[in-house]
Amino acid sequence: MASSTAPTTFSLLKTTAASSSASRTSASLLRVPSTRVQNPVPLRHSIGFASSVGDSVLSRSVSSRVRSVSGKGSRGVVSMVKKSVGDLTAADLKGKKVFVRVDLNVPLDENQNITDDTRVRAAVPTIKHLIQNGAKVILSSHLGRPKGVTPKFSLVPLVPRLSELLGIQVVKADDCIGPEVEKLVASLPEGGVLLLENVRFYKEEEKNEPEFAKKLASLADLYVNDAFGTAHRAHASTEGVTKFLKPSVAGFLLQKELDYLVGAVSNPKRPFAAIVGGSKVSSKIGVIESLLEKCDILLLGGGMIFTFYKAQGLSVGSSLVEEDKLDLATSLLGKAKAKGVSLLLPTDVVIADKFAPDANSKVVPASGIPDGWMGLDIGPESVKTFNEALDTTKTIIWNGPMGVFEFDKFAVGTEAVAKKLADLSSKGVTTIIGGGDSVAAVEKVGVASVMSHISTGGGASLELLEGKELPGVLALDEATPVAV
């Protein structure tokens, strides 16, 4: 178990912790104390959707969305809100050919069976809305990263599940442009759905070639982008096509992702905690720096903590360390302190004598990692302390596992966080799972349905959390700007 006495190398953190007004958590925690709980939030992302995410984000009007972004601290910013498919009337849609970019990039097994249909299910609300309003729906997606036409990346395996979920027979095209596709589009009835073949079978897609985008656009009257997972790519079907199709609007899934990953994160119900884990600090620098601007409490776990430990002079054995990021780790600790964010590092870790599922393991304090051993999970005292910190919050965002959760022996910390978030979610805390491996962890524990939001995009959610703007979103029409 963890030692209750922090090592002398943590004297700075210990001292500040002792004088912290935020003394909710264990005194032994390695922390930068928080003095900020209800500070104004800088609104840095120009694309704003709702932050009051408890109610139906899909049905709110543009003005209410804009107003909700204008919470405390936004100082009269005119937020740019993207037009949504929900803003189109039945008259806008009836009989119209609608090009809908979805992300059906799902995992398939060796027999071409879908092993996780989350993205297919997530695409359904927009498609159903279009069907119910008498539109002719043309679906476009990529699958994998094919180089030219590659049968194993065909979208054929998607047809049965899509048809089942939509309750109608989806027609499949063998191509995504050309005369045969045009014939199929011409024969589509109102409320019919046509699935185009993998748009990445053309290299012009990823090159965002205007002529190719124009050909895709020529199939339809208007454009809906609901492919959140691919919104960070400026490709022909996600960005280029908007130059030839008006209106170009956001689908319900894209809108919901932005509501949570931008709206709820920029203007959270406080206290707001961010949990960041994963393998390396280098891949999460942008996320940590961006979240430090917004959160009250930052919990760190995963492989990156050993770089923080080493930066503080601790021995980390053979744990994962990025030697060239030691100064960065120290500067992030300093930034947290300067911003009044309570940054919590685990006080104990589960160590292993090798990187393997059957490794020998034991729990030691953060200051007690022997040579030849590596930290692969956070320890029980840290779980307890993290839980106590999370108990104080009203909004939580989580990105990255707390340990090597792929090995059962080292999945305990990650699963404990998943369970804690599920528990808090059921008590009204807004819980957002920001894509990547933390989604896999939440699904493994079987608590996915309880969370407020689980992102369908790994790379896209990471970029949003870093404060970047996504080309697939930027390209969409703006709703009428409202001064707030």
79-138 binders of ligand X15 (CB under 6 A): 103, 105
For residue 286, state whether it binds ligand X15 (rule: CB under 6 A): no
Give how far the C-alpha of residue 365 lies from the chain's centroid of Cα atoms, to the nearest Å.
32
Q: Distance (Å, rounded) from C-alpha 449 to C-alpha 93? A: 32
- Compute the least distance from the CB of residue 213 to ligand ADP, in Å: 31
49 vs 309, beta carbon nearer ligand ADP: 309
For residue 376, state whether it binds ligand ADP (rule: CB under 6 A): yes
Environment class of 292 (CB within 10 Å of its CB; exposed 0-12, middle 13-18, buried 19+) = middle
43 vs 216, beta carbon nearer ligand X15: 216
For residue 283, state whether it binds ligand ADP (rule: CB under 6 A): yes
Q: Distance (Å, rounded) from C-alpha 21 to C-alpha 23? A: 6
Environment class of 350 (CB within 10 Å of its CB; exposed 0-12, middle 13-18, buried 19+) = buried
69 vs 281, beta carbon nearer ligand ADP: 281
410-469 binders of ligand X15 (CB under 6 A): 457-459
For residue 437, state whether it binds ligand ADP (rule: CB under 6 A): yes
Is the CB of residue 383 less than 8 Å from the CB of residue 403?
A: no
Active-site positions? Answer: 119, 280, 436, 459
Structure-token pair, residue 451: 């969370």
For residue 399, state whether it binds ligand X15 (rule: CB under 6 A): no
- Compute the least distance from the CB of residue 317 to ligand ADP, in Å: 11
- Compute the least distance from the CB of residue 240 to ligand X15, in Å: 15
List the one residue out of 293, 393, 310, 320 whose CA is nearest residue 345: 310
296-315 binders of ligand ADP (CB under 6 A): 302-303
Sheet order of strands, 193-195 included? 171-172, 193-195, 136-140, 97-101, 222-225, 248-250
127-135, 189-197, 393-401, 465-473 -> range binding ligand ADP (CB under 6 A): 393-401
Q: Are strands 374-378 and 272-276 parallel, antiparallel or unpaired?
A: unpaired
Residue 268 binds: one of ligand X15, ligand ADP, none (C-beta under 5 to 8 A by kind): none
Sheet order of strands, 272-276 included? 30-32, 342-345, 297-300, 272-276, 395-399, 430-433, 453-454
For residue 261, state whether it binds ligand ADP (rule: CB under 6 A): no
Q: Distance (Å, rounded) from C-alpha 115 to C-alpha 392? A: 37
Contact residues toward ligand ADP (CB under 6 A) are 278-279, 283, 302-303, 320, 375-376, 399-401, 403-404, 406, 436-438
Contact residues toward ligand X15 (CB under 6 A) are 103, 105, 145, 229-230, 233, 457-459
